[in-house]
């Protein structure tokens, strides 16, 4: 009897493979299972729990499963992958046929995901999720960001309430707002604004504790962040957020691709002779992109030490125009994203005048 070749065995296995699309919801998820011929084998909905997913998609027969990015996509991917399935996480931003469809529904979205993953997974523009361990570490930074936002809302509320009563609270840093305002707060506002100051003081203490946790976490578990903090304007929070968001710098063959990954690349809409200048794409992680923009502001400030990147950004500001400073900050943030990746993978110390001659530095 003639033995089957490896290619023939793979074709047989591919013919028996099942393709699944799952539209993830808050409590329920709709799914559609298709065979290699595109026929729907089973469809329905399942609870968004680990036991329910194991029941509907057991590990006995490996499947190729497509899900969209979302709040629950990370743990769902990890759980299904542990069962032996091939899980592909689709970039919802790129799936216009699903997000802008005139017949959008959960069962229809699941059917399209199953069809796309069966035809060619590249249609889904797959993304790579970070590990659950890294996700838990990143939750510390996100929790801190949430507390900072709440504190800002309370500070604005306190200022607004005091102003309606004819009193203006002093200007100061957020960390010292509660203690400084208490010394000038009228007794008539203690029952209202005073309560807000108590909450602001409590939030400031919690934020300070999380700052200590971030510094400890960066020093003990992510020592590579020390290379990134060499750049002026980049602190431990930005460095740790950068490392946790990227997780594996080796998956980017070139450092220049970091600008596109973080949404700092200008959008394009070229057609014929028409090629307008557009803003950045704003794709990728919004929080990290905001941190890089803040770092760019600090790097271009007067108190920042002189370096080549700062000079380049200030030259962009000198071009003038309505949004010259705004464009320059975005451009510096884009350069920062590339520079931090390069420092990470190379392990070299930061050179503030890399590529500049000594004569050019002294002349400047």
Report the chain's mean pLDDT, rounded to a whole number. 89
Which residues fall within 8 angstroms of residue 19, CB to CB, at 6 or more apart? 33, 34, 35, 36, 63, 64, 65, 66, 114, 115, 117, 118
Residue pLDDT, tens place only, 169-221: 999 999 999 999 999 999 999 999 999 999 999 999 999 999 999 999 999 99
Question: First-to-last CA distance in the chain?
Answer: 82
For residue 127, the cross-strand partners are: 89
pLDDT-derived band at 345, boundaries 50, 70, 90: very high
42 by DSSP, 3-state: which? Answer: strand
Residue pLDDT, tens place only, 252-269: 989 999 999 999 998 888
pLDDT-derived band at 10, boundaries 50, 70, 90: very low
How far apart are the C-alpha atoms of 286 and 271, rounded to whole Å?
29
Burial class from Cβ neighbours inside 10 Å (0-12, 13-18, 19+) for residue 79 reads: middle
Tokens linked to 263: 């949404």
Strands 28-34 and 86-90 turn out to be unpaired
pTM for the whole structure:
0.81
The confidence score (pLDDT) of residue 89 equals 95
Tokens linked to 212: 């200590």
- pLDDT (mean) for 165-169: 92
Neighbours of 106 (CB within 10 A): 16
CA 298 vs. chain centroid, Å, equals: 21
The confidence score (pLDDT) of residue 363 equals 45
The confidence score (pLDDT) of residue 269 equals 84
Percent of the chain residues past pLDDT 70, beyond the cut: 93
Percent of the chain residues past pLDDT 90, beyond the cut: 74
How far apart are the C-alpha atoms of 310 and 317, rounded to whole Å?
11
Output the DSSP codes for 76-88: HHHHHHHTT-EEE
Residue with the two structure tokens 């800002």: 152
How far apart are the C-alpha atoms of 20 and 42, rounded to whole Å?
9
CA atoms within 13 A on the CB side of 21: 25
Of the candidate CATH numbers 3.30.420.40, 3.40.50.2020, 3.30.750.200, 3.40.1160.10, the domain formed by 16-124 belongs to 3.30.420.40
Residue pLDDT, tens place only, 296-329: 999 999 999 999 999 999 999 988 777 889 999 9
Query: How many Å is the Cα radius of gyration of the chain?
Result: 26
């Amino acid at each position: 009897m003639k033995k089957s070749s490896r290619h023939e065995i793979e074709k047989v296995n591919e013919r028996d493979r099942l393709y699944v699309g799952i539209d993830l919801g808050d409590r329920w998820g709709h799914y559609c299972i298709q065979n290699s011929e595109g026929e729907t084998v089973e469809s329905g909905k399942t609870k968004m729990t680990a036991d329910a997913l194991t029941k509907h998609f057991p590990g006995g027969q490996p499947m190729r499963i497509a899900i969209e990015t979302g709040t629950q996509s990370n743990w769902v991917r990890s759980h299904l992958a542990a069962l032996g399935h091939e899980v592909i996480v689709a970039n919802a931003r790129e799936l216009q046929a699903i997000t802008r469809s005139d017949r959008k529904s959960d069962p229809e979205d699941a059917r399209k995901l199953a069809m796309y993953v069966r035809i060619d997974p590249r249609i889904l523009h797959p993304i790579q999720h970070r590990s659950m361990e890294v996700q838990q570490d990143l939750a510390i930074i996100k929790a801190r960001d949430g507390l900072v936002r709440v504190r800002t809302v309370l500070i604005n509320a306190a200022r607004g309430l005091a102003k309606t009563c004819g009193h203006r609270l002093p200007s100061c840093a957020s960390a010292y707002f509660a203690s400084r305002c208490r010394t000038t707060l009228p007794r008539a506002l203690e029952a209202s604004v005073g309560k807000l100051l108590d909450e602001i003081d409590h939030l400031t203490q919690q934020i300070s504790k999380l700052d200590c946790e971030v510094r400890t976490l960066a020093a003990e578990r992510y020592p590579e962040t020390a290379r990134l903090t060499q750049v002026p304007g980049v602190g431990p929070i930005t460095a740790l957020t950068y490392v946790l968001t990227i997780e594996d710098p080796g998956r980017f063959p070139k450092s220049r691709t970091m600008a596109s990954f973080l949404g700092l690349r200008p959008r394009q809409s070229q057609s014929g002779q028409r090629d307008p200048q557009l803003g950045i794409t704003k794709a990728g992680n919004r929080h990290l992109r905001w941190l890089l923009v803040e770092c760019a502001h600090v790097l271009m400030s007067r108190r920042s030490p002189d370096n080549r990147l700062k000079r380049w950004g200030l030259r962009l500001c000198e071009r003038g125009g309505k949004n010259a400073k705004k464009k320059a900050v975005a451009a510096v943030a884009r350069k920062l994203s590339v520079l931090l990746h390069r420092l990470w993978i190379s392990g070299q110390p930061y050179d503030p005048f890399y590529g500049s001659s000594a004569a050019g530095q002294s002349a400047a």
